[in-house]
Structure 1
Amino acid sequence: MANVLYLCGNAVAGWFGDSDDVPAQQKPSLYRKIVVLIPAYKEDKVILDSVAANLNQQYPADRFDLLVIADSFKPETLQTLRTQPVRVLEVSFEQSTVQKSINAALASLGENEYDIVVISDADNHMAPDFLHRVNLAFDAGWRAVQGHRVAKNTNTSVAIFDAMNEEVSNHIYRMGQRALGLSAQLIGSGMAFEPEAMKRGMSQLKTMGGYDKELEISLLSEGIHIGYLEDAYIYDEKVQNLEVFERQRTRWIAAQVHFVKTYFSLGMRELFRGNYHAANAVLKFLIIPRTLLLALLFTSCLLGIVTGFKPLWSWTGWMLGVLVFAMVISIPGYLWKKLSIQDLATFPKLVFRMIRSLLKLKTAGKSFLHTPHGETKPDATGQ
């Protein structure tokens, strides 16, 4: 019940709060020097398009740099990248992870060379005004902010549901949290930081996956709160098929389990210190993933109906209704318009893949499960 009430409370709050955006027409006090770090592992298919899109910023060209952290790229891709007005840092690790790439890039930066560090995935396209909006937020006093990551594609059923899941998280864990006076949750890209604070946070990482969540707890423990820029868009490629969906969710759930094991005691200490931002960051990871929670409640309710055990079906049915309500009000209208009967038929398959991903957690905790980008499938259901 606590899971459902937490999600519903944040979902409702998200409709009554405001984001931390500064009006785009406002002139900044100064144009801070920004570096956009783009960690990329074998992303030859998408990196050149992303670089071209991300250079198109409404921000002085001499006040921002793109730094591609190229891990295991083809020689011809590296050669082409070096003809572009970007910085390229080649890296190679015995076991590649995003955090290793980011730490290598941070170490390569000169002292006080940049005022803001932005993180963008290899497939991400920043909206033309993204850096301008980030700079305005830092003008307003923020030292860490999360932008609004939205779907770049909705070309398969899996991609549509992945896009919906992203927007539910945006509404609940960013808009809802800010409405309640708490810090927004980081999401791995489209986020910006004060360089020294980020370096301190990244130097304390303990796990292989979910570096953004560790960075979040580190910043919050230090007293650095995280704002949310609803109007600062960054477009992210959504998962297009069931195999990649399962691999990605396996990695996410494994990171969540390990995060709770590692940081639960820290969260309790921060709670007793009165640092509700940091304590809440840990509390959120006790929440069962929404798709699994839906499946659990639906199965329990169905079992209660079949067996005629009224307390079971009435209680779980009530919670299922509240959870569905929370998710429905968190999904923007434009995504509902994309949904078809054929798409709905894919949802049970996603639930099955989520459940199956639980069987792979041990492996996921020991290896880096890369999510490939730029891969399409002819089957529109994404199967």
Structure 2
Amino acid sequence: MEHIISIIDWLLYILFAINILYLLIYSLASRRPPLPRPAPAKEHKRIAILIPAYREDAVISECVDACLDQDYPSDKFDIVVISDRMQPATNASLSKLPIRLVEVHFENSTKSKSLNAAMAAIGNDYDIAVILDADNVVTYDFLNDINDQFANPKVEIAQAHRVAKNLNNDMALLDAISEEINNTIFRLGHAKLGMSAALIGSGMAFRYDLFRDTMANVKAVGGFDRELELTLLYQGKHFHYMPETFVFDEKIQNTGDFSRQRRRWLSAQWHYCQMFAKYLWKALAARNWDFCDKLFQQVSIPRLLLMGFTFFLAVAFTCYRWIWGIKWWVLLILLAVALLVAVPKRYCTSRLGMALQSLPYTFLLMAANIFKLRGANKKFIHTEHGVPG
């Protein structure tokens, strides 16, 4: 019996060690010298800012106002709001602004349908497509930064640095820190090692025709950015990261939204892992390491579950035979180092200590989602924005 338990111990340990060492390598890589900033562009490209807005009446005006306030020639960019089930009063107010309002009506709404409908309506007279969420806010120099990045003809896809717009309660703070850890490991660390940065669903910029043609074949219900990302990586495209170009994003403010959002993410992760796994051998043969790396991310253990189960297994094996537990505590320390390196210093305050007390409950919510994934990727799960915490 003990022999069987020992085998299980080592199998689990190897699985968890691979996941944790992956995070540690890219977290430490983020501390390498800064990425070079692109030189100022000599010409202004035509940009379409695409903003899918599904029942986003509470936040869409702030997003549009920030886009209108860009220090960029007004004849060189269009703001395109794709209004899906927003109130007539909201649409009437938006129609008075110097933007393009595209109203859509779908029986089953998805972001991919909205984006495709918008591009069909506005035509092809653009060089760059920028994707924002309706709750996003950008700084006045956002489009100039995008334009500078795309002045390099090798740049076809870029991800901006998405940061928290609100820190009004413990859940929002933890969500903000989680996103910054993602920024550090999956974007900055990857970029500094010459790998593609991960896309995140908003604050993304693409060569317009590439985005239009790729999106025409994207039918995702949830996690359209994952399907888009894997499709483009398989084509050999490289994703650049813009760490100094900020997009402010509203963070989750209650446990209900957290549970629904993470269930959607987990479901999309598993769905696209199954969908693209068949391309792994061809990607390996072609040495397409970006695609292989992204596919590994799809099968990796979500970070919150990784923390919780590593701690649980460390305690369990220590209680069974303390010498077996030592290696698990070492692994837990390495995970802690990887995450602490990835957390920006501005979040390391006494308030963080208070917020961490809710981690066990969020871990339980995340663990419960494992049993609720069936069908979650076949329906659109909307996270409401603009609600006070």
Contact 2:112 2:219 in 1 (8 A): no
Q: CA deviation at 1:309?
A: 4.3
- 2:26 aligned partner: 10
The whole-number CA distance in structure 2 between the counterparts of 1:68 and 1:110 is 15
In structure 2, the CA distance between the partners of 1:207 and 1:51, relative to structure 1 (3 Å rule), is closer
Q: Work out whether 1:352 is the aligned partner of 2:364.
A: yes
In structure 2, the CA distance between the partners of 1:258 and 1:330, relative to structure 1 (3 Å rule), is same
Please say which of residues 201-210 and 149-158 is displaced more in the overlay: 201-210
In structure 2, the CA distance between the partners of 1:20 and 1:266, relative to structure 1 (3 Å rule), is farther
Identity %: 37
- 2:4 aligned partner: none
Counterparts in 2 of 1:357-372, with a 5 A limit? Answer: 357-372=369-384
The whole-number CA distance in structure 1 between the counterparts of 2:322 and 2:280 is 38
Aligned with residue 67 of structure 1, among 80, 103, 114: 80
Aligned with residue 90 of structure 2, among 64, 77, 81: 77
- 2:35 aligned partner: 19
Q: CA deviation at 1:211?
A: 1.1
Q: CA deviation at 1:324?
A: 1.0
Contact 2:27 2:341 in 1 (8 A): yes
Partner SS for 2:102:
strand
- 1:333 aligned partner: 345
Contact 1:248 1:371 in 2 (8 A): yes
Amino acid at match of 2:255: L
The whole-number CA distance in structure 1 between the counterparts of 2:132 and 2:20 is 32
The whole-number CA distance in structure 1 between the counterparts of 2:37 and 2:276 is 31
Q: Work out whether 1:124 is the aligned partner of 2:136.
A: yes
- 1:56 aligned partner: 69
Amino acid at match of 1:151: A
Contact 1:20 1:229 in 2 (8 A): no
- 1:235 aligned partner: 248
The whole-number CA distance in structure 1 between the counterparts of 2:318 and 2:364 is 22
Contact 2:222 2:378 in 1 (8 A): no
Counterparts in 2 of 1:266-285, with a 5 A limit? Answer: 266-285=279-298
Q: Work out whether 1:158 is the aligned partner of 2:158.
A: no
The whole-number CA distance in structure 2 between the counterparts of 1:136 and 1:95 is 38
The whole-number CA distance in structure 2 between the counterparts of 1:5 and 1:17 is 21
- 2:222 aligned partner: 209
In structure 2, the CA distance between the partners of 1:160 and 1:145, relative to structure 1 (3 Å rule), is same
Partner SS for 2:342:
coil
The whole-number CA distance in structure 1 between the counterparts of 2:122 and 2:347 is 40
Amino acid at match of 2:302: P
The whole-number CA distance in structure 2 between the counterparts of 1:352 and 1:178 is 33
Spell out, residue by residue over 1:202-245, the C-alpha distance to the aligned partner (whole angstroms, 9 max, x if none): 12325421111211122222222110000110000000111100
- The size of the alignment, in residue pairs, is 372
Amino acid at match of 2:22: Y
Partner SS for 1:95:
coil
In structure 2, the CA distance between the partners of 1:340 and 1:331, relative to structure 1 (3 Å rule), is closer
The whole-number CA distance in structure 2 between the counterparts of 1:222 and 1:287 is 22
- 1:322 aligned partner: 334
Please say which of residues 82-91 and 279-288 is displaced more in the overlay: 279-288
Spell out, residue by residue over 1:28-58, the C-alpha distance to the aligned partner (whole angstroms, 9 max, x if none): 1210011100001100111112111221111
Contact 1:268 1:279 in 2 (8 A): no
Contact 1:295 1:351 in 2 (8 A): yes
- 2:191 aligned partner: 178
Where structure 1 has 5 or more consecutive residues not aligned to the other structure, the ranges are 378-383
Please say which of residues 1-10 and 361-370 is displaced more in the overlay: 361-370
The whole-number CA distance in structure 2 between the counterparts of 1:174 and 1:340 is 23
Spell out, residue by residue over 1:47-71, the C-alpha distance to the aligned partner (whole angstroms, 9 max, x if none): 1121112211111122111100000
Contact 1:150 1:166 in 2 (8 A): yes
- 1:299 aligned partner: 312
Aligned with residue 386 of structure 2, among 358, 362, 374: 374
The whole-number CA distance in structure 2 between the counterparts of 1:267 and 1:198 is 23
Spell out, residue by residue over 1:226-269, the C-alpha distance to the aligned partner (whole angstroms, 9 max, x if none): 10000110000000111100000000000000010001121332
Q: CA deviation at 1:200?
A: 2.4
Structure 1 stretches of 4+ moved >4 Å: none
Q: CA deviation at 1:17?
A: 4.7
Where structure 2 has 5 or more consecutive residues not aligned to the other structure, the ranges are 1-16
Q: CA RMSD in A?
A: 1.4
